[in-house]
């Protein structure tokens, strides 16, 4: 089985608190994407003066003077972090920030005459990594300042897993918490405060929070699991046991496919939904709430969502199902006897997708060809000398499996017969 952890989130906007006497609206956006801070105006009045400010230093970053018909962005302030990224709406005065980075995380203030509106923007990063590999959650700092206090939390259980107190020069990882799931896996960068998690497993998916002094950055990790058609896969709930008041729901895309209501002692699979693609394939673990899908097909590829007690804990798993690979076929590329000193061969595979077809001499790659979404036939030629004593093989592979055919030169490369296949 092969999996990736991917950072994902949904763009959210909701009331989270107050700034002075004014409410604060929370907005989140994926790093590199655009986000619009809405003024709530349908149109500006002739005498309106609108100002957008950033940070607790109250730095002016954009301004509209309707009377003077002046729309100005000050995108060179603050070391140019907003350069070529700010756009003002000529009708409403709303502000759009494009190609967001972690440096755009923070507090924004809109002032229209006596009216004020406050926003707090959270920027989220997307990362993918194979199981067993490492992932680094970057702080986006170039160096840690002398008075910095940095804390990393695994937010599923709101648990501190690493911290830096620069004033006392203390760098600490708490890798024995949470049943030791992070043991010997956490590394802090002494210069930037970034956190590396090594030897990734499915237990590490979830929400992470980085707090630098008063600034917070949130990371949402979701799991992409890849399996071969016909296999079974278990989507883990990460619970050791289901509590008496738990309500656990599993959804495929937006459709409810399984549910546990512990209060009513009800364990239900809805395997007739979606044209019956899950019929007789779903099994719930009565103790942990994990969901097993048996006899997987490509129809089961997609996003699965587990929700425990209505948003108290939510996790996402993206499942990719690959078709079983055929063994590639090596054949002579000529139907006639050859009088030359070389032999022309071709390796082929029929009706394949998301694969790479390659020729190897020993362990060295000679050539390759790939296909992604389309199901097509692939072929790859090779020229070898009749007396070549090297070992050759043709390999068909996708991200989770491979099929190999070895070349028998004496069988295929001769001067007295037509095309022969192995």
| Structure confidence by residue, pLDDT tens digits, 305-329 | 888 886 556 777 788 898 899 999 9
* Residue 87 · residue 96 · CB < 8 Å: yes
Same CATH topology for 229-322 and 329-412: the answer is yes
State what percent of residues in the chain have pLDDT above 70.
87
pLDDT at 417: 46
* 62-92 per-position pLDDT tens digit: 999 988 889 999 988 988 999 999 999 989 9
- Residue 54 CA to residue 80 CA, distance in Å, equals 13
- Residue 241 CA to residue 244 CA, distance in Å, equals 10
- Name the residue with higher pLDDT: 129 or 378: 378
> 329-412 domain in CATH 2.60.40.10?
yes
* Residue 386 · residue 413 · CB < 8 Å: yes
pLDDT averaged over every residue in the chain:
84
Any idea where the domains of the chain sit in the sequence? Answer: 9-124, 135-223, 229-322, 329-412
- Residue 99 CA to residue 31 CA, distance in Å, equals 7
- Residue 36 CA to residue 96 CA, distance in Å, equals 4
pLDDT at 123: 82
* Residue 48 · residue 42 · CB < 8 Å: no
Could you identify the residue written with the tokens 């209060």? Answer: 263
Query: What is the layout of strands, in order, in the sheet containing 282-284?
Result: 233-235, 291-293, 282-284
* 259-308 per-position pLDDT tens digit: 999 888 899 999 899 999 999 999 999 899 999 999 999 899 988 888 88
Helices (H), 49-165: none
> 229-322 domain in CATH 3.40.50.360?
no
CA 83, distance to chain mean position in Å, is 28
Stated pTM of the model: 0.61
- Residue 37 CA to residue 61 CA, distance in Å, equals 13
- Residue 154 CA to residue 183 CA, distance in Å, equals 14
Q: State in words which class domain 135-223 has.
A: mainly beta
* pLDDT at 378 > cutoff 70: yes
> pLDDT-derived band of residue 5, with 50, 70 and 90 as boundaries?
very low
* Residue 241 · residue 28 · CB < 8 Å: no
Could you identify the residue written with the tokens 């949904």? Answer: 10
* Residue 268 · residue 314 · CB < 8 Å: no
Task: Considering the domain delimited by 9-124, tell me its CATH architecture.
Answer: Sandwich (2.60)
β-pair partners for 244? none
* Residue 327 · residue 304 · CB < 8 Å: no
Both tokens of 128, joined, read 């993918």
Across the range 57-64, mean pLDDT stands at 91
* pLDDT at 4 > cutoff 50: no
* pLDDT at 364 > cutoff 60: yes
* pLDDT at 141 > cutoff 90: no
The number of residues in the chain equals 422
- Residue 154 CA to residue 156 CA, distance in Å, equals 6
pLDDT at 408: 83
Both tokens of 92, joined, read 């409403």
* pLDDT at 420 > cutoff 70: no
pLDDT at 149: 92
- Residue 73 CA to residue 94 CA, distance in Å, equals 12
Helices (H), 90-134: none
């Amino acid at each position: 089985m092969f999996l990736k952890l991917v950072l994902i989130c949904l763009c959210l906007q909701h009331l989270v608190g107050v700034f002075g006497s004014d409410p604060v609206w929370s907005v989140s956006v994926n790093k590199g994407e655009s986000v619009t801070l809405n003024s709530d105006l349908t149109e500006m009045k002739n005498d309106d003066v609108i100002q957008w400010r950033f940070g607790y230093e109250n730095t002016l970053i954009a301004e509209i003077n309707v009377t003077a018909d002046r729309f100005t962005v000050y995108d060179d302030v603050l070391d140019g972090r907003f350069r070529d990224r700010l756009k003002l709406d000529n009708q409403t005065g709303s502000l759009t920030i494009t190609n967001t980075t972690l440096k755009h995380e923070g507090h924004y203030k809109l002032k229209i005459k006596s009216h004020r509106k406050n926003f707090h923007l959270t920027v989220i990063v997307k990362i993918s990594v194979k199981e067993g590999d490492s992932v680094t959650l970057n702080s986006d700092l170039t160096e840690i300042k002398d008075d910095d206090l940095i804390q990393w939390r695994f937010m599923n259980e709101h648990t501190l897993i690493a911290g830096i107190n620069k004033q006392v020069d203390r760098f600490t990882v708490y890798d024995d918490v949470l049943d030791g799931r992070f043991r010997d896996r956490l590394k802090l960068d002494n210069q930037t405060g970034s956190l590396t998690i090594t030897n990734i497993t499915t237990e590490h998916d979830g929400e992470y929070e980085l707090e630098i002094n008063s600034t917070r950055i949130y990371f949402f990790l979701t799991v992409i699991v890849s399996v071969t058609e016909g296999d079974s896969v278990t989507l883990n709930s990460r619970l050791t046991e289901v509590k008496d008041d738990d309500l656990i729901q599993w959804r495929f895309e937006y459709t409810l496919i399984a549910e546990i209501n512990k209060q009513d002692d009800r364990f239900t699979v809805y395997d007739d939904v979606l044209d019956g693609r899950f019929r007789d394939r779903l099994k719930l673990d009565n103790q942990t709430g994990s969901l097993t899908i048996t006899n997987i097909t490509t129809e089961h590829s997609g996003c699965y969502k587990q929700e425990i007690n209505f948003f108290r804990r939510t996790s996402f798993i993206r499942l990719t199902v690959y078709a079983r690979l055929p063994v590639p076929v090596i054949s002579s590329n000529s139907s006639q006897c050859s009088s030359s000193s070389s032999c022309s061969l071709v390796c082929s595979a029929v009706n394949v997708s998301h694969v790479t077809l390659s020729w190897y001499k020993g362990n060295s790659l000679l050539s390759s060809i790939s296909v992604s979404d389309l199901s097509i036939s692939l072929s790859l030629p090779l020229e070898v000398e009749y007396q070549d004593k090297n070992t050759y093989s043709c390999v068909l592979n996708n991200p989770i499996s491979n099929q190999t055919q070895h070349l028998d030169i004496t069988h295929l490369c001769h001067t007295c017969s037509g095309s022969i296949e192995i």
